[in-house]
Amino acid sequence: MANAYVQIGMAMFRTGILGYGGGPSIVPLIRYEAVTRFKWMKDEEFMEVLAIANTLPGPIATKLAGYLGYRLKGSLGAVLGVAAHILPTCVAMVGLYSFITFFSTSHVIKGMIAAVVPIVAVMLGVMAYEFGEKAVKGLGWTAGVIFFVLSFLLLQTFAVHPAIVIFLFLFYGAFHHKVKDKWGKSRKALGKGEGA
């Protein structure tokens, strides 16, 4: 098995180089490295880390890279994870800036960018579907659908900051099973009362 420092470096290097479109598009790549390729954590733990990272300020990808590095190899791992994730992109950005500026009106460059957008959309869609599936399994169909609709309304219609929405849902999640058990007991008691 490869050295953990090598794994962190290679994983975060790949996510930094291949993560076209910013933080949200990089999350599925980081998830693949952490959960599928290297099995550093289970999918449920990754979702928890992602939820917490979304409540904190700063770019999501660098927070995840830092956390994964720290989880595996402490402070040095965190520094390596962040550096491996951001430095190649920074170097590429500086090197390619003049190229992109010079060819910014090129139909070839515009076509290349347009061709990559559907791939990013599919990656995000697959991740969203898998997260939604796990949410429904954990909450149940009724609560899952209600929470999807409620989160959509809060984020899109009322423009509530995502960190506030995540905090509210985390707070409810801490008591979900107690609420569910209480609701189930009250429905059973009501059913017995009607049958009597």
Predicted TM-score (pTM) of the model is: 0.64
What pLDDT, on the 0 to 100 scale, is given for residue 76? 96
Low-confidence ranges of the chain (pLDDT < 70): 1-2, 21, 190-196
What pLDDT, on the 0 to 100 scale, is given for residue 163? 85
What pLDDT, on the 0 to 100 scale, is given for residue 185? 76
Q: pLDDT per residue over 165-189, tens digit each? A: 988 888 888 887 787 778 777 777 7
Residues 6+ apart with CB under 8 A from 15: 26, 29, 30, 33, 61, 65, 85
What pLDDT, on the 0 to 100 scale, is given for residue 192? 66
What pLDDT, on the 0 to 100 scale, is given for residue 195? 54
The owner of tokens 């949200």 is 24
What pLDDT, on the 0 to 100 scale, is given for residue 159? 93
